[in-house]
């Protein structure tokens, strides 16, 4: 029914030079999509009939490339750093283990992996991100990047590709963005932006029905654009920005193949990853807080289209309701930061050793991870738990009681994550192993286990990583049975290996080799690094 509705997207071909070789003439597009029109940003400030106007600029960018890159670095430091150093990528110098590796080699490889700290803002993280961004850039070269959603990253895409085609279904957002400084940055000669047109017949629709009609109209526009840009060949690169990421990814299934490279810069909840898992595989996921202190709940995920038979139904239509909008919201992480501030007296308690102090911070990190993969409904539960901790912190004078409150909340989040990602048995296996360990570091190891399991939700669409992680947990537990002090280093290794399938494989090799080391091998350096 929606396919027969009037199209709702507004159009502008942003180019100084002729675009006849990139897109069909404006007149032809207007005939095929009569709901599309063209005008300038100045029209939005006039009280005129907007039916015949849009809100996009005719002009090229009035903001310098340096200013745009500075804006990008403020919003996404990891992406900007990788883009600036694309040509300077260095190969990893990690120690490779083989059948003749000595105990010293094995311990050195484990120690080096921990030192890299790939889960933080390090050269290792940047190298891993650049590797995936380079795949995207190579696929985009001499081709067209199709972007669903509008954002500052379009400026970066314009430097990688021959053309960039952007489709944005939110008129209000498109208008405000393109009138901002960031909007000026995307006004490049090879960028072509299509936005929903104000006062179209679909503007009368509200709620999910209106959103669905906008997406149906966008799909028909994309179909024509793909045909004009590629003929019948699938798009080589796709970027998804902003809200409704699950619907956008699933909508594009018919326009991609297994060679297509996909980048999603959005908030993606665990249920959303599970929804795309049937047709796409996540190659790597990067936290936007890696290289920039922020309260973002968005991630950058690189994906690959999987082979799947054609489907008659259109699953993307199930992900257009309000709960699937998945707008970025910093309130959950801001609340965690408030708890950190409120528990400062706990960490300064003289009777609170360094392991308990570290455990408290790690348990709070679990709440951050849960917020980043949680739905709006999950956020409500996390908020209640954190508010309870704040209340306890204000009334309680005993640091251990506060720690126990945060620990119980984190463990509940870990159990919920384990059910979603298929790690319930592995969480219990780790907790059973910890129960046999009685030492000063036990609270911190418990917190690390919760963080490890909660983090699995980010990789629900990465079965290769999770399968190897399950093997690694089994090896870690077996290793700690013979050498209990190696449980902490083993967990640290698994945490570092979660960044990609390659690093998880390297972690698993190290754990297998650690079982072979000589009983008298010097582990002091490895243990010291694991305690950092």
pLDDT tens-digit map of 269-293 = 999 999 999 899 999 998 877 666 6
CB 273 within 8 A of CB 249: no
Among 48-52, 308-312, 423-427, the least confident range: 48-52
Q: Does pLDDT of 174 surpass 90?
A: no
Closest C-alpha to 9, from 177, 139, 192, 152: 192
Strand partners, 300: 265, 286
Segment 103-159, tens digit of pLDDT? 999 999 999 999 887 766 677 788 888 999 999 999 999 899 999 999 999 999 999
pLDDT of residue 2: 38
Higher pLDDT pick, 84 / 113:
113
Question: Which run of H or E residues covers position 265?
Answer: strand 261-266
φ and ψ of 301, to 5 deg: -125, 130
Region class of 207: left (phi > 0), else alpha (psi between -120 and 50), else beta:
left
Domains of the chain, residue spans: 2-37+58-64+127-324, 331-530
CB 449 within 8 A of CB 431: yes
Residues 21-39 have a mean pLDDT of 49
CB 529 within 8 A of CB 157: no
Judge residue 63's burial from the number of C-beta atoms within 10 Å of its C-beta, 0-12 exposed, 13-18 middle, 19 or more buried. Answer: middle
CATH topology of domain 2-37+58-64+127-324: Rossmann fold (3.40.50)
Q: Give me the residue label for tokens 């690094």.
A: 529
Alpha-carbon distance of 384 to 486, in angstroms, equals: 36
pLDDT of residue 33: 53
Contacts of 227 (CB under 8 A, 6+ apart): none
């Amino acid at each position: 029914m929606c396919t027969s509705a009037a199209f709702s997207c507004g159009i502008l071909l942003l180019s100084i030079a002729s675009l006849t070789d990139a897109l069909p003439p404006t007149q032809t597009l207007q005939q095929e999509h009569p709901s599309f029109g063209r005008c300038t940003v100045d029209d939005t400030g006039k009280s005129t009939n907007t039916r015949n106007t849009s809100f996009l600029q005719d002009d090229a960018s009035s903001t310098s490339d340096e200013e745009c890159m500075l804006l990008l670095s403020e919003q996404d430091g990891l992406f900007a750093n990788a883009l600036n150093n694309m040509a300077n990528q260095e190969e990893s110098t990690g120690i490779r283990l083989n059948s003749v590796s000595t105990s010293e080699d094995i311990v050195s490889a484990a120690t080096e992996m921990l030192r890299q700290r790939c889960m933080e803002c390090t050269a290792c993280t940047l190298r891993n991100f650049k590797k995936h961004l380079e795949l995207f850039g190579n696929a985009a070269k001499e081709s067209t990047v199709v972007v669903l959603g509008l954002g500052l990253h379009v400026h970066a895409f314009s430097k990688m590709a021959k053309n960039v085609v952007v489709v944005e279904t939110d008129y209000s957002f498109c208008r405000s963005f393109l009138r901002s400084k960031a909007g000026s940055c995307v006004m490049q000669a090879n960028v072509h932006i299509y936005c929903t047109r104000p006062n179209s017949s679909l503007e009368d629709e509200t709620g999910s029905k209106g959103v669905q009609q906008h997406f149906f109209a966008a799909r028909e526009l994309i179909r024509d654009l793909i045909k004009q840009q590629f003929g019948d060949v699938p798009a080589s690169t796709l970027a998804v920005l902003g809200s409704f990421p699950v619907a956008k990814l699933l909508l594009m299934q018919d326009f991609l193949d297994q060679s297509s490279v996909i980048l999603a810069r959005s908030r993606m909840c665990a249920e959303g990853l599970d929804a795309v898992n049937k047709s796409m595989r996540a190659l790597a996921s990067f936290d936007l807080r890696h290289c920039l202190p922020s309260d973002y709940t968005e991630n950058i995920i690189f994906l690959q289209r999987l082979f799947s038979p054609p489907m008659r139904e259109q699953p993307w239509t199930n992900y257009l309701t309000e709960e699937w909008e998945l707008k970025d919201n910093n309130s959950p992480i801001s609340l965690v930061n408030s708890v950190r501030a409120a528990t400062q007296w706990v960490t300064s308690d003289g009777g609170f050793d360094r392991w308990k102090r570290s455990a408290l911070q790690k348990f709070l990190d679990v709440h951050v991870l849960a917020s980043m993969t949680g739905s709006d409904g999950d956020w409500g539960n996390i908020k209640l738990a954190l508010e309870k901790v704040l209340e306890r912190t204000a009334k309680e004078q005993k640091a251990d009681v506060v720690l126990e409150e945060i620990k119980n909340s984190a463990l509940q989040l870990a159990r919920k994550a384990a059910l979603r990602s298929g790690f319930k048995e592995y969480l219990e296996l780790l907790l059973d192993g910890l129960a046999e360990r009685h030492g000063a570091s036990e609270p911190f190891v418990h917190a690390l286990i919760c963080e490890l399991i909660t983090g699995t939700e980010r990789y629900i669409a990465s079965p290769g990583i999770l399968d190897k992680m399950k093997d690694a947990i089994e090896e870690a537990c077996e290793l700690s049975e013979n050498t209990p002090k190696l449980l902490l280093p083993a967990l640290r290794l698994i945490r570092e290996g979660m960044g990609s399938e390659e690093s998880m494989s390297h972690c698993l090799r190290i754990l297998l080799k650690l079982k072979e080391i000589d009983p008298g091998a010097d582990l002091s350096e490895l243990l010291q690094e694991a305690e950092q």
